[in-house]
A and B are shown apart, each in its own frame.
Chain A
Amino acid sequence: MAFVLPQEPVLRLRQPLRKLLEGQENAMALYPTYPLHTERLTLRPFTRGDVDGVFAYRRLDEVARYLFDHPLSREECALAVQQRITQIGLAEVDDKIILAVELSETGALIGEVSLIWRSVEARQGEVGWIFDPGYQGKGFATEAANFMLDLAFGPGDMHRVSARCDVRNEASWRLMERLGMRREAHFREHAIFKSSWDEEYIYAILWQEWRRLRHPQEEIS
């Protein structure tokens, strides 16, 4: 997967070194400067104008099947978009960055990618995605998700990033494998999901593994 590396640093890290030197924990914070660009995609914060675009895929049964949500109404999409408008930076644990993914060429909204800060001390993150099935099979999700890994391991300075999905959601775990993630867990009947037993995969990738993928020639000391 080829990546267009930005000419100038589009990812600005608001990380006051002074705080780090003072030994404060939680000194790290991640506020990328938007929009972010990959080869074919633009990743940007959600805006109020995205409600119809989100509704176009979140109303579908096939999209909702493996999400915790049911198919959303237009009003619920409006609420979801409203929440996402401010989810653009990581300042403390459980903060989320959720970005709209659009095709740079046409401006069409094709889905969302997310990065959640799971642990500050142990530098853990979790990535996720929801995509419009109409745009499947073109590598867009891989491109966007790979960019989120770069965000997490680069400016986010994370050590491990995980992702989870239902075992039956093959498209999702195939994507995790394409990202270079390893299957770390296969939980069987560990919870109830939508009125039946849940079966779940957890995938993860460590910083050093990501680094080796991006720079295969380099020896890591």
Chain B
Amino acid sequence: MSSLSLPIETDRLVLRTFERSDIDDLCAYHMLPTMQRYVFSRTRDEAEVACALAIMRNHVSLQRPGDTLTLAMVRKGDKILIGHVSLNWSDATAGQGEVRFCINPSYSGQGFAKEALGALLDLAFDHFRIHRIFARCDGRSHHSIKLMQQMGMRLEAHYREHALFQGEWDEELHFAILDREWQRSAKVKELPLRHRVA
């Protein structure tokens, strides 16, 4: 496996690992009630966000199963951190990975999350050779549901009242996509000179 080359550039975004100076931009969306509603870790004040940031700054590569790679979505031009995506290598034997994503609601609805998630799926399937990627979300999180459908992910599970989450019965959806189902981006990759014929 060739080494991971970061940051990753998409049309409008740069995906890079987190830095200490990201705290303010991260606080701008991670503490919002709309965000807190669906996340596992509680980050209600700046100290808790700082803890989360410290953890995410260590998510720099996938070396062994259980590792996570978290990438900040930074808008080209104004360099504003607008969200993040992460890839967790959950199982090596069966080549399984999980993706998660968060976006600052001020920047949602413009396709940024889709752009970042697409790049992350490319990375997961092409670089890390993962066989199946899944993502989970709350049954009420309709933006997430729409995004995963746009990515071509299939609804694999719809659990009803299978657990308690934030004091309520949880409704959870699982979406998944296999490597052979993932449509690579139309972008033509330039072959290195030595691979060209004649």
Contacts and interface: CB of A to CB of B under 8 A. Distances in A.
A185 B96 contact: no
Q: Chain B's interface: helix, strand, loop or mixed, by majority?
A: strand
B159 A159 contact: no
Interface residues of B, number: 21
Nearest to A192: B94
A209 to B, nearest CB: 10
Contacts of B138: none
Interface string A152-178: 000000011010000000000000000
Contacts of A160: 160-162
Contacts, number: 58
A201 to B, nearest CB: 10
B35 to A, nearest CB: 24
B178 A188 contact: yes
B156 A187 contact: yes
A57 B135 CA distance: 39
Interface in A111-125: 119, 121-122, 124
Contact of A187 (B93, B157, B163): B157
A191 B162 contact: no
B176 A188 contact: yes
Contacts of B94: 189-192, 197-198
Interface in B121-173: 131-132, 134, 154, 156-164, 170
Contact of B159 (A185, A189, A190): A185
Contact of B164 (A121, A184, A188): A121
A151 interface: no
B96 A184 contact: no
Contacts of B170: 122
A190 B132 contact: yes
A204 interface: yes
A197 B160 CA distance: 26
A121 B167 CA distance: 11
B174 interface: yes
B157 A202 contact: yes
A124 B131 contact: no
Interface string A122-143: 1010000000000000000000
B114 to A, nearest CB: 23
Contacts of B131: 189
Contact of B156 (A159, A188, A197): A188
A11 interface: no
Contacts of B134: 190
A130 B93 CA distance: 28
Contact of B160 (A121, A191, A204): A204
20 contacts: A121-B164, A122-B170, A124-B163, A159-B161, A160-B162, A184-B159, A184-B162, A185-B158, A185-B174, A187-B156, A187-B174, A187-B176, A188-B132, A188-B154, A188-B176, A189-B94, A191-B94, A197-B94, A198-B94, A204-B159
Interface of B: 91, 93-94, 96, 131-132, 134, 154, 156-164, 170, 174, 176, 178
